[in-house]
Amino acid sequence: MLEFGHDVAHGTDVAKASLDALLAEHEPENSPITIGLIHEARAQVALRERDFETAREQVAKMESRYRSPGVATLIALAAPLKRAIDRVENPRVTD
């Protein structure tokens, strides 16, 4: 994931490409945590770009992956990201 941070610093297009490559690489393994983390990172990049539709799609995919092992703490990671998307999209609305 350090590479991802480096990629974001060089632009969201590079970060998206890196994350898409990671997703393609790890999708066959079907690891819910790994794939969920990649979707989470992809949602954060979309949020940075103010692409709220993609951000929400990625959060939904992340949440779906995190639900499969049934670990509540993983599932709970979606809520703060959803709130962040809502806050950025609608800054005048409070929680």
Question: What pLDDT digit, counting tens, does each position of 13-25 carry?
Answer: 888 999 999 999 9
Q: Can you read off the two tokens belonging to residue 14?
A: 């590079």
pLDDT digits (tens, 9 = 90+) for 27-68: 898 899 999 999 999 999 999 999 999 999 999 999 999 998
| Residues 6 or more apart whose Cβ sits within 8 Å of residue 78 | 59, 62, 63, 66
Directed axis angle between helix 2-9 and helix 32-48, to 10°?
Answer: 20
